[in-house]
Structure 1
Amino acid sequence: MRNNWIGILLTIMVVLSMALSAIVWISPYHFEHRGEDGSRNEQQTTSQSMQDIYLPSTIIHTKGDGSQQFLYDQPRNLMLTIKESLRNWQLRSGRRISSNSSGNYLSYLRHDNSLLLSYPATVPLTIFNDSFNASLSTDRISRVNHIVLPLNDSHHIYLLSDDHFQVYRINVRNMQIAAIKKAMKGGHHFSVDHKIVNNRPFVTYPNGVKLPEFAYRITTANVDNISQSLMNNSRKGNINSQTEGDVTTYSDSPSRHLNYNHKRGTLDYEHYMGQDQHYSYQSIFGHLYERLSKSTISLDSLRYDAYNSGSKTITYRSYVENFPVFNDDGYGEVRVQLSTEGVERYHFSRYSLQVPLPVDKHWTRLPSSAVVFNELHNSNHMKDITGLRVGYRWQSNQSDKTVTLTPTYYVHYRGNWVDYQTLTK
């Protein structure tokens, strides 16, 4: 009898193992983030690949009647499904079909029966090529902001660049979208629309937005380990440290040092390479990712978020459910710079969102974008606004082991993303 029970238990364990393996194979990304009961599970500790960290951050479905819906939290990870599908398509030559026409550009942002994939900021074509296994020529197309995937056209996709409102039609062979349509089912959505505001394309929210709060456990990195890794030094005694006020400086040579701000929990690393570093726009994204991936800085929840061409700086930011996370002290954000003078700089914090926690659903209702724009007009700030997005606010408190993320609108104001309420009070 005992042997029979053992055999039955072993059979059950094998079946459960096979079932879990199938779930992970079908939807690996989503399985890392949310359990079957809606609670959130700990993410894997492996770093994201360059293909994934530079993926578009938002997906908008335009229906046949022209209405648009922002999609998020699909049971199957829609962005990864699109990525894997697109990598199997054969993208042929492309040509520009529109330029310098905001009206035409808007019509493609609202293309009927399509999915619009949008990057949070411009990326070079080389990044698109790497993520989607394409080999389009950078001689014809330089920058990409949006990808339009028609759901009723098996021969073309469109690449859009906000720079001069350029639209490129790309010929496609072997375009299969059945898996994409299947992954679109379920999940959540809210109404959006595209408009041209201050001569820039905006996503607007005509009916406002209702979103839940999220809770995360915070992981605190060990500063000594960070200094050892960044300075490639396995012998702790060879790294000198000196504290002045709230800042401790770690250094192993005159050319390399790490400043740790105890009060804010942020770190600034500088490495004087000793030679000029010249990377083209098409190559610097890959180079800075490679440098960052060799550090101990966790890339798990980070996504590409911005590029400053003047300072050659890329910002990577934490995201939850396709929404960016913002913090006044820079928590959940990594900035990487490679100056033309040969100085490599990192700015980041000890604190990162690591373990999602189950919480009672507290929902926040955000007003319509029309209300937001009116308030910005009344405060005389609207003329300086160049972007609008929904994000999550991370309130700084170093003593907390967990954090609650609250949704709000962020506007791009004079080069920075800020909570719109700071401009309308």
Structure 2
Amino acid sequence: MKIRTWMLHLGLILTVVISIAFTWLIWFNPTTFFQNVGRTPVDTSSGVTNASNKRLDDVYTPTSLMYNETTTKKYQYFNHRSDITNQAKKIMNRVEITSLKTVAKQNVPKYLATVNQSHSLILNYPDVLPIKYVCILFDKAPKKIAENKENVDQIIIPTGNSGNTIYFLNSKKQNIYKVSVKNLNVKSLMALTKDKHTQSVATALENIGDGYRWTYPQGVKLNEYSYLINKESAGNMVAKLLGANTSATITTKQQDGKTVYSDDANQRMTVDNKHGEVEYINYDSNDKNKPKVSFSKTLEINLAKLNSLGVTLDDVRYSNYESKTGEVIYRNYIAGFPIVSEYNYGTYSLQNVTSNGQRFMFSLYGLQVPLPNTNKQKTLPSTSDILNRLSSIGYSSNRVRAIKIAYSWQRNDSSSQVVDLVPTYLIKVDGRWIDYEQLFQNFGK
């Protein structure tokens, strides 16, 4: 009996010691502890993780699911335990498109009647995409439809009919396309909204800036998150970006706190040494006679460029397209909302600077491993409250082009290797996306 008691005490002591040791490792050297947890094996022959070879529909995918109970009662759904839009995507992957017909273009009344119809689900893309890229969500589509270059950003799925008709909409131009489908399982989609872990928030549709935007008339309460972060080697990025297409010698110089890498051709990569922000530019000096790259082709080229970095793209989604500058922005998403930050943390910006040249901005820092949820939440005010406050500091309605909920990337006070993701509003004013709290802080309000 004494031996059993002695062994029990010894086992308890060992358990406490091991627990303390692991706690120390997590907080003081978390990268080492977690570096092999949940990581995809690396193909050393190519230097690129297998997970980085993402398919088009992994990046160009809907990011939110909504439901119109009536024309005025609307809800957005999110699930902190699983990606609800990814589950919806799996259901839509079984659906076959049989035909597509243009119903109306630039018709506000018909657009509003379609998007607001009662008993309908809505899959939203963050910004417009060619129908060609929406079709990859489905199992099959006729070639003529699959090559359609018209842009849309919403899929309307009526739940009260036979399930044979859905609609593609463009919220910026108020275009409507009627789509006939087969094998649509509306009940499975509706079941996602009724899962015990699924939460909902009231939404409304308002005309803001350059299109109709989803707003939150009652505000919203969202979880906060914490993640371990990792930093990619600048040398690896030099090899992947500057060394991929040339055997030229790479030169390096220090300039105003930045390291500039360049070859003897037309490539340059600049790294902000303090913040890890990277700017890569590739000018093609022989592109004068080359045709301008289309939006559709640009999206394809961009995915190849993202894959070439070898970064994890599991949570990276197409976020928005700036038609005036040709800039396409991709962001990390969490619970259906984009992550925003200074210095391009969690953001990838690609822009065609010439017909065949490209400017690419991103960060060496990335999210690695989620830490245990502390159940901290933040309540955001209603969208109308934010717009009223903007007006009070001089940002009239004609200056505000868009507004949406996002997660702000913030430093953790306890560890430099941990980042906190805090709910916020992201506002587009004067052509720039700004965190609303930073904007009000600048005005002392």
TM-score (norm 1): 0.83
The one-character-per-residue Cα deviations of 1:203-226 (angstroms, maximum 9, x if unpaired) are: 111111111111011110111111
Matches within 5 A, 1:101-112: 101-112=107-118
Q: Match for 2:74 among 30, 54, 68?
A: 68
Mapped pair 1:116 → 2:127? no
Q: For residues 235 and 117 of structure 1, what CA distance do their matches in structure 2 show?
A: 43
Q: Match for 1:369 among 355, 376, 383?
A: 383
Amino acid at match of 1:182: A
Q: CA deviation at 1:138?
A: 7.3
Amino acid at match of 1:220: K
**Number of equivalent positions:** 385
Q: Match for 1:408 among 397, 409, 424?
A: 424
Q: For residues 364 and 344 of structure 1, what CA distance do their matches in structure 2 show?
A: 39
Structure 1 unmatched ranges of 5 or more: 1-40
The answer to whether the Cα contact below 8 Å between 1:227 and 1:250 also exists between their aligned partners in 2 is yes
Matches within 5 A, 1:270-419: 270-276=281-287, 278-383=292-397, 384-395=399-410, 400-419=416-435
Q: For residues 172 and 299 of structure 2, what CA distance do their matches in structure 1 show?
A: 19
- Structure 1 stretch displaced more, 203-212 or 58-67: 58-67
Residue 60 of structure 2 corresponds to: 54
Q: For residues 216 and 432 of structure 2, what CA distance do their matches in structure 1 show?
A: 21
The one-character-per-residue Cα deviations of 1:44-79 (angstroms, maximum 9, x if unpaired) are: 561232211010111112224741111111756432
> What secondary structure does 1:253 align onto?
coil
Q: For residues 178 and 395 of structure 1, what CA distance do their matches in structure 2 show?
A: 39
Mapped pair 1:180 → 2:195? no
Q: For residues 427 and 88 of structure 2, what CA distance do their matches in structure 1 show?
A: 28
Structure 2 unmatched ranges of 5 or more: 1-36, 41-48
Q: CA deviation at 1:309?
A: 2.5
Inter-CA distance 300–90: structure 2 relative to 1 (3 Å threshold): closer
Inter-CA distance 43–418: structure 2 relative to 1 (3 Å threshold): farther
Amino acid at match of 2:158: P
Q: CA deviation at 1:157?
A: 0.5
Residue 80 of structure 1 corresponds to: 86
The answer to whether the Cα contact below 8 Å between 1:77 and 1:183 also exists between their aligned partners in 2 is no
> What secondary structure does 2:117 align onto?
coil
Amino acid at match of 2:426: Y
Q: For residues 367 and 190 of structure 2, what CA distance do their matches in structure 1 show?
A: 31
Residue 31 of structure 1 corresponds to: none
The answer to whether the Cα contact below 8 Å between 1:54 and 1:303 also exists between their aligned partners in 2 is yes
The answer to whether the Cα contact below 8 Å between 2:58 and 2:314 also exists between their aligned partners in 1 is no
- Structure 1 stretch displaced more, 399-408 or 94-103: 94-103
Amino acid at match of 1:116: I
Q: Match for 1:190 among 201, 207, 210?
A: 201
Identity, % of aligned pairs?
Answer: 25
Considering only aligned residues, what root-mean-square deviation do their CA atoms show, in Å?
2.7
The answer to whether the Cα contact below 8 Å between 2:71 and 2:117 also exists between their aligned partners in 1 is no
The answer to whether the Cα contact below 8 Å between 1:228 and 1:236 also exists between their aligned partners in 2 is no
Q: For residues 82 and 347 of structure 2, what CA distance do their matches in structure 1 show?
A: 27
Q: CA deviation at 1:114?
A: 1.6
Inter-CA distance 240–190: structure 2 relative to 1 (3 Å threshold): same
Q: CA deviation at 1:265?
A: 1.3
The one-character-per-residue Cα deviations of 1:380-410 (angstroms, maximum 9, x if unpaired) are: 3132112121111112589810011111111
> What secondary structure does 1:137 align onto?
helix
- Structure 1 stretch displaced more, 276-285 or 353-362: 276-285
- Structure 1 stretch displaced more, 134-143 or 322-331: 134-143
Q: CA deviation at 1:112?
A: 1.4
Inter-CA distance 328–339: structure 2 relative to 1 (3 Å threshold): same
Q: Match for 2:215 among 195, 204, 209?
A: 204
The answer to whether the Cα contact below 8 Å between 1:195 and 1:204 also exists between their aligned partners in 2 is yes
TM-score (norm 2): 0.79
Inter-CA distance 363–67: structure 2 relative to 1 (3 Å threshold): same
> What secondary structure does 1:382 align onto?
coil
